[in-house]
Structure 1
Amino acid sequence: MKDLYEIIYEFLDRKESFVLATILEKFGSAPREQGTKMIIEKDFSIIGTIGGGIFEAMAIKLASKVFQSGNSIVRDFSLTNEGASALGAACGGEVKLLLEYIDFNDNKMLEIYRKASEIKRKGINFTFVTKIPEEGKAIKGIDKWICTEIGFFGEENDTVQSIFGKIRENFKNTAFEKVNKDGEEYLIEPIFNHETVYILGAGHVAQKIVDITKMLDFKTVVLDDREEFSNRERFKNADEVKVIPCFDNLLNYIKVDCRSYIIIVTRGHAFDKDALAQMLKTDAKYIGMIGSKTKRDFVYECLMNEGYSVRDLEKVHCPIGLPISAQTPEEIAVSIAAELVKTRRALI
């Protein structure tokens, strides 16, 4: 699956304009996270998703106005409990959405996205900054900048240089946010090439895995449907700890791509099977499931009865971890972490 910035640059290089939708803010149980993006083409087909269902349909309808005017639109959407249920969320929430026209005729737009695509391919971390104009104005290529730890790309701008100076004070911990500077609003988007470990299940083994994956410089996210297990007190070293309604619709809560590592360590066969079924549909670099060969065979048989193939299941590391005769949670965590490193270094 191609990177978003590569896709955007390819559109512009082919002389195709489009609307780019970005979730600016999220409150409650809205379906996708801040920073999630979706491309809307002139025929209103889409690449990516900002949540599906009613919410996505409203965004596509608004995009027609953006195509007509060329101006950006910022809108608040409130999802009722009924609407949220249709999107797979437990209850209603609110999102603020930015829709901007990306014009292939804008040479500065082409240049900034060419540079973003190039930097991303090189694996360099950067922050993308966009000035959000007042209602009824267009976002142009001169309103976008790129900041790396040592470099700057875009039009010279004293205000933006001031923002970059602040970003570089704690570059690796830059957060997605909107800031107001000199009366103007700017969107700050960190684009980090983190390899992310998603641990599905928050038991004792998960606790030990987190301690090691953080030492190995993986971004580490823990998910569970039990708040008494999935909390910051138990997972002090995790980057994120999420409490989810259930193990259905996991992709509403996490972004899985070719730099993602999935560790399935839930509390039972049924949860493991449901989680695995969803992860098999992704581009995850690694999928591992804890359990014996007997458990594996049972889960695999269930999934094959649901239409998954042997080839699909060959992607899965189960029993999880390198074979070091691990028994304790600490030893199991070591074996799993070793398998992650082996995958990372492309030795499998």
Structure 2
Amino acid sequence: MAMNDYLKIVRKMQKNSENFVLATILEKTGSAPRSEGAKMLIKRNLSIEGTIGGGLVEAMVIKAAARVHQDQQFRIEDFILSNKDAASLGMVCGGDVKILLEYIDWADPKTNGFFNEIFDLYENKIDFVIITKIPKDYENERLEKWACTETGFYGAESDEILSLVKDIKENFYQLKYKDAYLQNNCYFVEPYFKTENVCILGGGHIGKVLAELCKSLGFYVTVIDDREEFANAKRFTTVDEVKVVPGFEHITDVVKISQHSFVIIVTRGHSYDKEVLAQMLQTDAKYIGMIGSTNKRNHVYQCLLEEGFTFRDLDRVYSPIGLPIHADTPEEIAVSIAAEMIQVRRGPQK
């Protein structure tokens, strides 16, 4: 669920004094479909908003949320996605997820105060980080939460939390494109940033020209390839990050993809493009573009449809990529792609 959608729903439920259970992925291993920080809201009638991946795990989370509604006490649950379950979702292998289930009670002044602070930060376009203390004994403790910006802090003070906040503030910009993470198994740290980033999958000729062009347009640019001779700092001198990966199977483990992200898929083959596109369709990326002919696109789409994706999923993809300006050279193709990105950036959503 995109952050703006999540906050809109929470604010509406606050206005209606409608309590709910908030499920958040704290940790994941293997091929669990969503990453740390993914959220789902479960209402009293067990209807949901958002998703943490669908399938059996989501069904088990909803069942656990019913107990949280009854007890009005948070829980931390571990769920295992077997290889058989994963296969039904179109993945190669299973994985485990640790999920926090917290009861949001609007009768609690602290809960209201905390979310009001978050709403104000978001509406004023201020980047912030949410910190949640994860108690070891949830039978006798309650969740504590804090919010901090690069210069501000909201929440009860203690030496321990102030030390963590100091570290976060000193490394604030390094957090911008990281997923949420657990700090020493005690504090869950969730960055909420609005800055637009571009992730270019493929460091070939088009990727190189496009990376430099995107940087000049004010994007935070990350280039990813599995070939060090194509992805290195000497070749990409102006971009923010260059990452060499062993393969394209777990891209969301190495780069943050949010609702402000632009993803450009320009790898060197059909199979790599399909692998990357399948992952990107499970993110909230603002723009997903894939290079290639109509025939190549149709082949990749058909493979994904057979794996369980829908036509609605594929409608998010811009392919063939770029505005139709009869581009031919890598430089011209990069211009056509950048122009389409600007169109999405400045215009209404597709």
Shared fold, TM over 0.5:
yes
- In structure 2, what is the equivalent of residue 226 of structure 1? none
Relative to structure 1, the CA distance from residue 346 to residue 8 in structure 2 (aligned partners, 3 Å threshold; closer, same or farther) is same
CA displacement, residues 258-291 of structure 1 (integer Å, 9 cap, x when unaligned): 5343434355689879988998999764454535
| Structure 1, gaps ≥5 residues long | 224-228
Cα distance in 2 for residues equivalent to 1:53 and 1:199: 30
Q: Which residue of 2 aligns with 1:55?
A: 57
What pairs with 1:1-348 in structure 2 (closer than 5 Å)?
A: 2-133=4-135, 134-137=137-140, 139-140=142-143, 143-174=144-175, 175=178, 176-180=180-184, 185-199=186-200, 203-214=204-215, 216-220=217-221, 229-230=225-226, 234-236=230-232, 237-238=241-242, 243-245=247-249, 259-265=260-266, 285-291=286-292, 295-296=293-294, 316=318, 318=320, 320-321=322-323, 323=325, 325=327, 327-328=329-330, 330-341=331-342, 343-346=344-347
Cα distance change on mapping 1:273 and 1:71 into 2, 3 Å: closer
Cα 1:243–1:102, aligned 2, differ >3 Å: closer, same or farther? Answer: farther
List gaps (5 residues or longer) in structure 2. 233-240
How many angstroms apart in 2 are the aligned matches of 1:255 and 1:166? 20
For 1:164, the aligned partner's letter is: V
Cα distance in 1 for partners of 2:277, 2:13 equals 34
Q: What SS class does the counterpart of residue 186 from structure 2 fall into? A: strand
Identity fraction in percent = 42
Q: Please give the TM-score of this superposition, normalised by the length of structure 1.
A: 0.75
Deviation at 1:63, TM superposition (A): 0.9
Q: CA deviation at 1:187?
A: 1.2
Task: Note if contact 1:219-1:239 (Cα within 8 Å) is conserved in structure 2.
Answer: no
TM-fit CA distance, 1:212:
4.2
Distance 1:120 1:241 in 2: 34
Which secondary structure does the structure 2 equivalent of 1:3 belong to? helix
Tell me if the contact between 1:29 and 1:93 (Cα under 8 Å) persists in the aligned partners.
yes
TM-score using structure 2 length:
0.74
Residues 40-66 of structure 1: CA distance to partner in whole angstroms, max 9, x if unpaired? 111111111111111111111111121
Q: Is the 8 A contact 1:221 1:242 kept in 2?
A: no
C-alpha distance in 2 between matches for 1:27 and 1:280: 19
CA RMSD of aligned residues (A): 4.2
Cα gap change, 1:51 to 1:212, in 2 (>3 Å):
same
Measure how far apart 1:147 and its partner are: 0.4
How many angstroms does 1:193 deviate by? 1.0
For residues 205 and 9 of structure 2, what CA distance do their matches in structure 1 show? 41
In the TM superposition, residue 342 of structure 1 has moved relative to its aligned partner by: 5.1
Q: Is the 8 A contact 2:27 2:98 kept in 1?
A: yes
Secondary structure (helix, strand or coil) at the match of 1:130 reads strand
Q: Deviations over 1:26-51 (max 9, x none)?
A: 11111111111111111111111111
Comparing 67-76 with 190-199, greater Cα deviation is found at: 190-199
Query: Structure 1 CA distance, aligned partners of 2:128 and 2:246?
Result: 26
